[in-house]
Amino acid sequence: MNYYEIIFYVFAVLTVVSAGVVVFSRNIIYSAFALLFTFTGVAGIYVLLNADFIAITQLLIYVGGIMILLIFGVMLTTNVTNVEITTQTLKALPATIVVAIVSALLVSTMVSTKWAVKDPISVESTTINQIGELLLTKYLLPFEIASIVLLIAMMGAAFLARKN
């Protein structure tokens, strides 16, 4: 096993285990915390895939932005003293069946498809130039629309969270 594989397995185990904690932990604070580690693990995998810009964006947006919002949501909507969250009452059997079907479908697709990929040759040192150019030329319209989406979301959130 070379270093690359070792690092991959470290981040993969971190991601999957903490994702499991998110779903199966009884304490919502621990769920939120585990999600933090999941996002960080995914960012590590991005670095391994030579996607440095996306990895940093993952840290900035998910870990530095969305997670903070989530933790605030948790703090504002739960009392620390009564940890009551249980999963048993919800229908576990149908859920398991659905999850099994979805995973089987994904696995069969993954195995049966012949992916037209080549081995990642050592690409240039950073992807940020390419991404910047594509965003301001070919994908300019989606880029602008994304900014409008953000503006509307901001206004909507401010309106919803306001008293009365």
Partner 1 sequence: MITELIITSTIKITLVIIVILTGVAYSVYAERRISALIQNRIGPNRVGPAGLLQPIADVLKLLLKEDIVPAKATKPIHTLAPMISIFVALCTIAVVPFGDSIHLFSRDIRLQIADVNIGILYILALTSLGVYGITLSGWSSNNKYSLFGGLRSSAQMISYELSMGLSVVGVILMTGSLSLQDIVLHQFGWKWNIILQPIGFITFLVAAFAETNRAPFDLPEAEPELVGGYHTEYSSMKFALFFLAEYANMIVSSTVIVTLFLGGWQFPYLQTFGLPPLVVSLLQVFTFVIKVVAMIVFFIWVRWSIPRFRYDQLMNLGWKVMLPLALANIVITALLIAIFRS
Partner 2 sequence: MGINYFLILALLLFSIGVAGVLLRRNAIIVFMCIELMLNSVNLVFVSFSSYLGNSIGQIFVFFIMTVAAAEAAVGLAIIIALFRNKETINIDEINILKW
Site size toward partner 1, by CB under 8 A: 22
140 sits near partner 1 (criterion: CB under 8 A): no
Q: Write the interaction track for partner 1 spanning residues 106-125; mark x where CB under 8 A is met and - where it is not.
A: -------------------x
59 sits near partner 1 (criterion: CB under 8 A): yes
3 sits near partner 2 (criterion: CB under 8 A): no
73 sits near partner 1 (criterion: CB under 8 A): no
For residues 12 and 71, which CB has a smaller minimum distance to partner 1 in the complex? 71
Beta carbon of residue 58, minimum distance to partner 1 (angstroms, whole number): 9
Find the binding residues for partner 2 in span 73-92 (CB under 8 A).
Answer: 73-74, 76-77, 85-87, 89-90, 92
20 sits near partner 2 (criterion: CB under 8 A): yes
Q: Are 47 and 66 in contact (CB under 8 A)?
A: no
157 sits near partner 2 (criterion: CB under 8 A): yes
